[in-house]
Amino acid sequence: MSELTAPEGGSGGPPEWSTGGSGGSGGPPEWSPGGSGLRHLGSGKVRDLYEADDDHLLLVASDRISAFDVVLDDPVPGKGEVLTALTVFWLDLLADLVPNHLAGWRASELPPAARHLAGRAMLVRRLDMVPFECVARGYLVGSGWKDYQATGAVCGIPLAPGLRQADRLPEPIYTPATKAETGHDENVSEAQVAETLGPDLSGRLRDLTLEVYRRGAEHAARRGILLADTKLEFGLDGGRVVLADEVLTPDSSRFWPAGGWSPGHSPPSFDKQYVRDWLQDHSWDQRPPAPALPPDVVAGTAARYREAYERLAGRPLDSWLAEARS
Ligand code: Q0N
């Protein structure tokens, strides 16, 4: 678990994995456990991690949002709750396929110092994390599209000629990546994963990743959302492979409105399109800080996140939140 060495020490971790989050203030995260309760282990762009006890961690999803790789100053109210609600929903839907790290999410299941975070917090079992991001792609987009244009392959997987941007692939592909020390993850071949982890574990991660993607994409499509790709994290608990982190959220996956997709174009993002459109119309150079968002863009984005949960889970977010606070 080298990526969990105390970020207070200031060594080793990726730039997006540091104390104090992205605001640069150096203070504690906005949503932190109370009292002298839980040790802050570190923060990503969007989420904060705490130690709950020897065997458990607390993952807290903030309302921070990033666009064009920059965390914006304006939070999107309720976004962290949507990420948490969606992860809890999917982990339950996938429970027969793969065991997961979730140990509690209702207030009554959280450490007392974290009960006020119910709805945006997950208590999880502490695992030995697999040092690769497990990515499945069903559409030709992003770095996959760039790779294909340059090489005719995606991460070394050859594809038919003549494919267009955002084309659906004949079948989903597995494109693992290293958790990069500097900035962006680096794609690796499955053979490279097998060199580190051995062929058995490597193959199991591939099979699980593709099956999680297939099941998620099939469910989402029935609700009018295309799941273009997704990034999963796994850990080991003894010999068991366990699904960890957030799962099939708009932050770990590309969600597209099914009606907005057509090959040859970069499809709109289900959740972030208002933010991207507004930033692009305001000729921002994509270097921080981003301009402040107008309230209607923030409100429209918050509504899209809520809608994503409600369509996928088939349940009002408020009903889930009431359960989480119980
Ligand atoms: C873990 N990350 C990367 C917070 C999450 N169950 C676990 N056991 C041990 N370590 C981790 C988990 C989980 N999940 C996962 N770091 C530690 C994901 N971070 C990104 C930033 O926000």
pLDDT at 117: 97
Q: Cα(13) to centroid of ligand 1, in Å?
A: 13
As a whole number of angstroms, the distance between CA 275 and CA 282 comes to: 11
CATH placement of domain 134-272: 3.30.470.20
pTM listed for this prediction: 0.92
Residue from 129, 130, 133 whose mutation best tests the ligand 1 pocket (most atoms within 8 A of CB): 129
Cβ proximity of 137 and 173 under 8 Å: yes
pLDDT at 77: 98
Q: For the chain, what are the domain ranges?
A: 2-126, 134-272
pLDDT at 3: 33
As a whole number of angstroms, the distance between CA 177 and CA 174 comes to: 10
Q: What are phi and psi of 255, to 5 degrees?
A: -105, 130
Ligand 1 pocket: which residues have CB below 6 Å?
Answer: 1, 3-4, 44, 47, 49, 57, 59, 101, 124-127, 129, 233, 235, 244-245
As a whole number of angstroms, the distance between CA 142 and CA 44 comes to: 22
pLDDT at 26: 65
Low-confidence ranges of the chain (pLDDT < 50): 1-16, 18-24
Residue from 16, 233, 241 whose mutation best tests the ligand 1 pocket (most atoms within 8 A of CB): 233
pLDDT at 32: 87
Using alpha carbons, list the distances in angstroms from residue 168 to 152, 160, 173, 219, 226.
15, 12, 11, 17, 10
- The correct CATH number of 2-126 out of 3.40.50.920, 1.10.3720.10, 3.30.200.20, 3.40.50.300 is 3.30.200.20
pLDDT at 182: 62
Nearest CA to ligand 1 atom 18: 245
